[in-house]
Structures are given as C-alpha cells and as structure tokens.
A and B are shown apart, each in its own frame.
Chain A
C-alpha cells in the first residue's frame, strides 16, 4: 500500500509521468478530472454553506496535512494565507525526487474553476513555490448590473 503519508511524492511523480507521456495538456486534463470527479465533499460544503463551507473544508484538510497557514473568514470573503505548504515542502525542500517544476499549478486548476461554478471569484496567487507560500482569495461574484 502506498501510504497517504507518501502520496505527495507519488502525486508529483504522476504529474511528471503524464507530461512525459502526453504533454502538459494531459496533466491539465488530470487536474480538471480531479476537480470534476474527486472534490465532491468540497462541492457539497460550498453548495450548502458558501464561504463558511470553504472554511470548514480547508480547516479539515489543511489541519490533517500539517502545514502552517492562517485562514480568514469575512462575511463576504474567504482567504487562505499559506506560509508553509506541507506539499510544497516535501516536493521542493526534501530532495527525495526531482521537483516537478509546475507542481503548485495544480491548485489553480483544482479550486478557482470549481468555486466559479458556485458563483465565486477565486484568485490563486502562488507567491513562492520553493518556500511553499501562496494565497487563495475567494469572493462572492457580483451580479452584472
């Protein structure tokens, strides 16, 4: 069994394998597939509770993943400030495998498009992959006048 504690290295190796086999488009197809088929629990929470559901989802996942971050839930905005991403730390700092250079890009494909389906604008700003720093900012999309 591949342990969930080893998954991140396997995940990054899979990105590289897919890119070697089918180019970057194949990797993006995989990321879109994860968003469409695997993130059902995030979808349910966003649909039921909106920004509060996002806070609930990431409180659980980031709590288990063990990084260092702060989450801020406003009445009209939800923000994750990632100071030390646990995945990026494994990929870029532990040196077990050659880092997949575009590793952090997967979050851009997983979360903003999914949240857009529920009426939210999300900015996924990668600040520094090597240091595991990024920010996810989500706002309710304003209705067109």
Chain B
C-alpha cells in the first residue's frame, strides 16, 4: 500500500512498508574508499588489515556461518545477490570444489570512476583481506588477482 508519494527532482519514491526501496546507494563505495585511505594514512597497511580482518567476526559473521554450513553454495549465492543488485558484470563457476568469480566490471570501481571519487591507493586489497578472513573463519581458502585500474578481478575459493 502506498502511504505517501514524494515527487523528488529526479524520480518518484513510493514509500511503503511492504516494499521498501532497495538500499543500493553506490556513493557508499566512495565513502568506503575514503575510509580505507584514512585508515592507511593513520595506521599503515597493517592497520587496514587489522580492521578488515575483524569484520569477519561481526559484519560477516552470518556469511561465515552460512559458508561453514552450506559450503561454497553460500558464497556463490552471496556474490550473485551482491553483483546482481549492484549491476556488476561477472561470470561465476563452481567446478571441482572450487568457486571462481570473474569480475569483468566491478560496480564499486565503475561508480567511483563515473563520479570522480578518489580511489584509495590499495582499494582492491580490501577484497583479498575480507575474503581471507571470512574463509579462514569457515575452514576455506581464497585467492584474488586484480587490476584496480581496470576494475577487474578473479577470485577463487576452495575448502581447506
């Protein structure tokens, strides 16, 4: 049920309780990038690693538990949800107990480039660190090869 209708300058927003507007605000990538650079400037790359590794026990705790329970299907579903929601271009294959996510157009890098946001020197390292921490908590291993300039990467996940 539409409770009220606001005519914004750019579009209409139907504010309903049953169908809340999806929370996809890509400018947050720019804020994250600023935060990672601030962290690195203040506490070095070790500080960045310490912060991001800690996310596995809180922010990504549900994903860790899902990965432990359902295995690589959990990660496949996670990435599909995120990249579909954010409009990323990617391929994903689960073969021989290895999940391979090939990102052809990273939505974070693309959005920051489109809007001239400063991109942290080591922005893509956050993917490696968070993946490693999540996987370690669930008994899995990961690797990533990325090209930050191009906004592409290949991420691999396997048990052990």
B-contacting residues of A (Cβ < 8 Å)?
1-11, 13-14, 17-18, 21-22, 26, 30, 33-34, 37-38, 41, 55-56, 59-61, 63-66, 68, 70-71, 86, 96-98
Contact = CB atoms under 8 A, between A and B. Distances in A.
A9 B58 contact: yes
Nearest to A17: B51
Contacts of B21: 63-64, 66
A96 B58 contact: yes
Nearest to B30: A38
Contact of A97 (B9, B13, B58): B58
Given A10-B59, A96-B62, A63 B42 contact: no
Contact of B51 (A3, A13, A34, A96): A13
Given A1-B108, A3-B85, A38-B30, A21 B47 contact: yes
Contact of A17 (B8, B30, B54): B54
Given A7-B32, A59-B10, A68-B15, A14 B130 contact: no
A132 to B, nearest CB: 13
A8 B28 CA distance: 8
B150 interface: no
B2 interface: no
A86 B62 contact: no
A97 B62 CA distance: 11
Nearest to B15: A68
Nearest to B26: A4
Contacts of B31: 7, 11, 34, 38
A66 B27 contact: no
Interface string B27-45: 1111110110011001100
B34 A33 contact: yes
Contacts of A7: 25, 28-29, 31-32
Nearest to B47: A21
Interface of B: 4, 6, 8-11, 13, 15, 20-32, 34-35, 38-39, 42-43, 47, 50-51, 54-55, 58-59, 61-62, 82, 85-86, 103, 106-108, 115, 117-118, 126-127, 130
A17 B115 CA distance: 28
A1 B10 CA distance: 28
A88 B62 CA distance: 19
Task: Give the most central of B10, B28, B29, B130: most A CB within 10 Å.
Answer: B28
Contacts of B4: 70
A33 B38 contact: yes
Nearest to A52: B9
B126 A37 contact: no
A17 B51 CA distance: 7
Given A11-B28, A22-B42, A55-B9, 12 more contacts: A1-B82, A1-B108, A2-B126, A2-B130, A7-B32, A10-B32, A10-B35, A14-B39, A56-B10, A63-B10, A65-B23, A66-B22
